[in-house]
Structures are given as structure tokens and as C-alpha cells.
Structure 1
Amino acid sequence: MTDTTIEVAGLRKRYGPATALDGMTFTAGPGLVTGFVGPNGAGKSTTMRIVLGLHAADAGQALVGRRPYRSLARPLMHLGALLDASALHPARSGRNHLLWLAQSQGLGSRRVGEVMEMVGLGPAARRPAGGYSLGMRQRLGIAAALLGDPPAIMLDEPFNGMDPEGVVWLRGFLRALAAEGRSVLVSSHLMSELQGMADHLVVAGRGRVIADSGVAELIAAASGDRLRVRTGRSAPVTAALAAAGGQVVQEGEDLLVVRGLPADQAVAVLTAAALPFSELAPHRASLEEAYLELTRDAVDYRAAS
């Protein structure tokens, strides 16, 4: 499969006095699902629009397979993208929406039928797209992105409007596309969906990259040296672990989080003191915890607490 790594290098973009991108740099490579996340205003959508040539960067470049997207003769055969699921003519059927896109790329009607079936819209192919639910419009947009059987896929918030069945389907579908060697870049606010799907995560904040790492590595870093201890006798357990040098914080009625003690030492301390516990294990952070820690100082819009 042709190398169609999505490369973003030093992108800068201002809209009047506002800085949208401030040196955004990352790659989304073949065989991986790369999650692209960040708070509102982080520059994710602007970056994707520059990749597609819809906006011009003030500096830097965005390449698909080492070429600007706008230089590609048949771009849908290199990079398939979904930015806005509502960008369709409401009176056209889902099939006709895809047909005019296919014809613009020299593709036949057979491919339209194939991608409609791929995304589960075969039975609704001849219905007006304006009557589709948001989840169905997302599926139609994904079908459009797949028309040219591209080796790279870029989707902006594809889980929006999906019901639970759709979310499960899309997770598996994107994993399968990456397993075929495609580059898959997915912007999402839903960390829970990316945790079970993404291999790599690019975290953006205020127009630049805050973190660019494997998902497992981000979670390990956020987990730190913490232990989870569940016990019905929080007070004496806290005292015993603190006396042994642990830093103990109570996070629930029967849950303690301990720093500064290895698990075997904590077990030995509690066993020697005959203090009961039903759980004692290294704390494993969620992707959401890792994300919130990374973006703590990059959130522009925060509700009053």
C-alpha cells in the first residue's frame, strides 16, 4: 500500500488577533489509529482543514504521502476525510450523494453500493439524506471517505450521534482499517472510545502539541507509583501506611490511594498489623485521567466550580 502518512509540520495560523495554530507538528502513520485530542479551541479542526487545503497556513506545511493534498489529481484515492456530517444536500438520497462524489473521482456506481453496505446503510440508500439521523449521517460521511479505497483516513468527531451499537461498530471498523496498513487519524472528545481503539495519541492545546505518545505510555505515566487500597478500616490502615512512609489520600468510603510505597511493602505493613484489605493493587489511570492531567493548563473555557 502506498505510503500516505499524514504529516503536519510547524503549522501556524492566525485569525485576526487570535492564534489558532502555534507550530502544530505531528505525524499519523500507516497501521495505526492515531487519536487527535484537545480542549475546545486547541486547533484540531483548523489543522484538519489545512491538511485538506480548505484553509491556508501562515507557515508550515501539511502533507499526505509527502505531497500537499491539493496537488493530488484524484485526492479521494489518497486520503478520505469526514469533517462535517451535515455537509450534504438534504433532498438527495444517500446513494445519490455518494454517486456525484464518485463520479468526480472517476469511480463507478458499484463502489457506491460497496461502501453503503460497509457502513450499514444499504437499506437506507435511496432515502433522502436530509431525513437521516445524525448517526446515519456520520455513517454516510464515513462511506464517502472510503469511496476511493484510500490508504489514509481522517475523521473529525465521528462518534457524535452514534448509538451504542454504532460506537462499537465504528471502533472495530477503524481498528480493521488500520490493521490493513492504513493511516487512521481520528479527532474525538470521547477518551473512553479512544482508549479501546487508538494506538497513539496526539494531545493538542492552544495550537500546539502537548503530548505525542503511545496510549499505553501515556496511561503508565499518568498512573505513576500509586496504589489502590480498599479496606473497611480506613483510619488504622491510613495510619499504618503513613507511618511506613506512604502518602495516603482517601478517595471513597473504603478506598485509599497511596504514594511512595511499593505494593509488597504495603502488603507487609498491613499483614504485620493484622489490618484487613480486600484490594491492594497498582493504580491504573484511565486515558481520560491522563488527558485531563496533560491539558490542565491548556483549557480556555472552564465552568465555575
Structure 2
Amino acid sequence: MEATIEVAGLRKHFGRTTALDGMTFTVLPGQVTGFVGPNGAGKSTTMRVVLGLDAPDEGHALVGGRPYRSLRRPLAHVGALLDAGALQPARTARDHLLWLAHSQGLGAGRVDEVLALVGLEEVARRRAGGFSLGMRQRLGIAAALLGDPPVLMLDEPFNGLDPEGIVWIRGLLRSLAAEGRAVLVSSHLMSELEDTAGHLVVVGRGRVVADVAVSELIAAASADRVTLRTADRSAAMSVLAGAGATVAASERDTLVVSGMAAGSVVRLLGAHQVPFSEVSAHRATLEEAYLELTRDAVEFKGAAR
């Protein structure tokens, strides 16, 4: 089966609320694709449509070229984590996975493999209702991996994880993609996606705002921005603004200069005898690049998903 998720022209309304307005993108194998956007942008609805939980008004969503509802033993095709709390709290972690495995024709051996993979083997016989959010996230990821699928779709998998858990899931997601799987991860934590994802699908108002490599997005947001440290911030701001640059104060002795290359900043300050201790090209964070891109992509009024 081809390891892809294809979303084409999805439109979806809930009453008078527009959730999806022509959502279109493809998740390719061999990389982690981040799926990001403001609350109400349509991320959860899109993932539910991919899994056949919501029916679109228009368009289609395919996993490996096929609708989810046509898949026999779907866990062998796509593994998903949409809600870490979707479990029977009285069941043990192992029993939770055993009934899923039984429904897909999988044996107990695979259950023990994924429990070890997510670090839950020591608590496998504890009731899942007593698990922390981080442990429930690990159990949900184990369920998603149960059928060894070529496609994975995870909604906010970093939530509730401690620092060790975040380091673990970063490595896990990258290794799964390196095996040739298509991995789609929805998250509000840009710092985690910056260290994990190679590609980004940014959505807003129910449609795609950008479909781009993470490195390209950061490079575009970093262009012609310079970090300047100076003991005379007022003089530096006056000189640079007078030459047409846009200058913003960052810290007590730090300015961020836009619209002027680092070399030009150095020459201009030197010509006006303005002291400085550092001039360096600014590298935007993914969070900065994302906020710049989605400035106008606010959520739909009344959006519920």
C-alpha cells in the first residue's frame, strides 16, 4: 500500500459554521509533516474526515489511494491518535491493546512489542484509568502502531509528556518517517515541530495557507533581519530608521533590524560612530515564521472544531 494521505477539495459545514473550505494537501512518505493552524482552522475536522468519522460535503480524503471506510483491517494501513482519553478506564493497558489487536487479527506478541516500544511494559497490567495524560498519550501511540501501518496521524501527541517523553517522541517520529512512513502530526507546539518535522501544512479559515518545507519557511521569515546589540540604543534606532530600516526593541540593549543587511548595518553605524557589540543575521524560529504567516488566518466565528 502506498504511504500517503491525500486531501482534495474538502468542504464541510456544521450548521452555519464553515469548518473546511476547499482543504487540499498531500502527506508524502519519508518525512514528518506538521499540521498547524489557529484554533478552529479545521485541523481536527480534516483528520476526522480522513478517518471516516465525519463525511465531507464536497471533496475526498484517501489513505494510500483508498477511502478509509474501504480498508479491511484498517490498523494495518493507518494508525491514528485523536484523543488519548478514548479508552475504557477499567481495562489494563495491555487488555486495551489486546481487544484492538483481536479486532484486527493480530496476536498478543505484537501487543507486547508496542508496549515495550512506548515504554509501558512495566505498567502494562495497571488500569489505564489511573494513567497520567503522558502515559495515556504513550498508550494511544502504542495503539496507533499496533498494525505496523505505513501511515500515521497523531493529534497533539506532545501534550502531557515530560521533557524525557518529548525527547523520546521526537526520536520516535523521526525514526518512523525514516522507515518510509507518512507521518502527519498536528500540534500547537512550534518548538517541538521545528525539531521534528521536515514539512509543514499551515491552515487557517478551513483552507491551506502554506504547504512548505520547514527550512524554507524559516529562511523566508529570517530574510533581511539583523540582531544588533548596542550600548546606545536610541542613537542606533535613529540612524537606522533614518536610512529606511525598520527597527524594533527586543531587550534592553538589543534591537531587531528589518530591511537592511548585516553589512550595511555595520557600515552605517560605523559612519555615525554608534557603538555596538554584536551584529548578526537573525534566524527566525518556526513560531515566529508561523505567527507571521497566520496573522490574518483567525478562526471562524463560532467554529467548534
Deviation per CA, 1:232-257: give whole Å up to 9, x if none. 11122223334444332323211112
Output the amino acid matched with 2:197.
A
Give the equivalent residue in structure 2 for 1:180: 179
Give the equivalent residue in structure 2 for 1:170: 169
Distance 2:217 2:242 in 1: 31
65-74 vs 242-251, greater mean Cα deviation: 242-251
1:247-266 matches, within 5 Å, as 247-266=246-265
Deviation per CA, 1:101-159: give whole Å up to 9, x if none. 11111111000000000000000000001111111000000000001111110001111
Post-superposition shift, 1:297? 1.5
Distance 1:171 1:117 in 2: 17
Give the equivalent residue in structure 2 for 1:103: 102
Give the equivalent residue in structure 2 for 1:143: 142
Give the equivalent residue in structure 2 for 1:192: 191
Deviation per CA, 1:78-119: give whole Å up to 9, x if none. 110001111111111000000011111111100000000000
Aligned-residue RMSD, C-alpha: 1.5
| Cα separation, partners in 2 of 1:94 and 1:301, compared to 1, 3 Å | same
2:46 maps to 1:47: yes
Distance 2:236 2:67 in 1: 61
Distance 1:211 1:67 in 2: 25
Output the amino acid matched with 2:16.
P
Give the equivalent residue in structure 2 for 1:34: 33
Post-superposition shift, 1:270? 2.5
Deviation per CA, 1:185-204: give whole Å up to 9, x if none. 00011111101111111111
User: Any conservation in 1 of the 2:41–2:300 contact (CA below 8 Å)?
Assistant: no
| Cα separation, partners in 2 of 1:299 and 1:245, compared to 1, 3 Å | closer
218-227 vs 135-144, greater mean Cα deviation: 218-227
Q: Which runs of 5+ in 1 are unaligned?
A: none
Give the equivalent residue in structure 2 for 1:237: 236
Give the equivalent residue in structure 1 for 2:279: 280
Output the amino acid matched with 1:251.
S
TM-score normalised by structure 2 residue count: 0.95
Distance 1:11 1:271 in 2: 56
Identity of aligned residues (%): 69
TM-score normalised by structure 1 residue count: 0.95
Distance 1:46 1:261 in 2: 42
Post-superposition shift, 1:294? 1.6
Stretches of 4+ moved more than 4 A in 1?
Answer: none
Post-superposition shift, 1:169? 0.7
Give the equivalent residue in structure 1 for 2:295: 296
1:3-18 matches, within 5 Å, as 3-18=2-17
2:69 maps to 1:70: yes
Deviation per CA, 1:170-228: give whole Å up to 9, x if none. 11110111111110000011111101111111111111111111111111222231111
Aligned to 1:142, the other structure's residue is in SS state: helix
Distance 2:36 2:5 in 1: 16
Deviation per CA, 1:14-73: give whole Å up to 9, x if none. 111111111100111100100001111111111101101111111100001100111111
Q: Which runs of 5+ in 2 are unaligned?
A: none
Give the equivalent residue in structure 2 for 1:89: 88
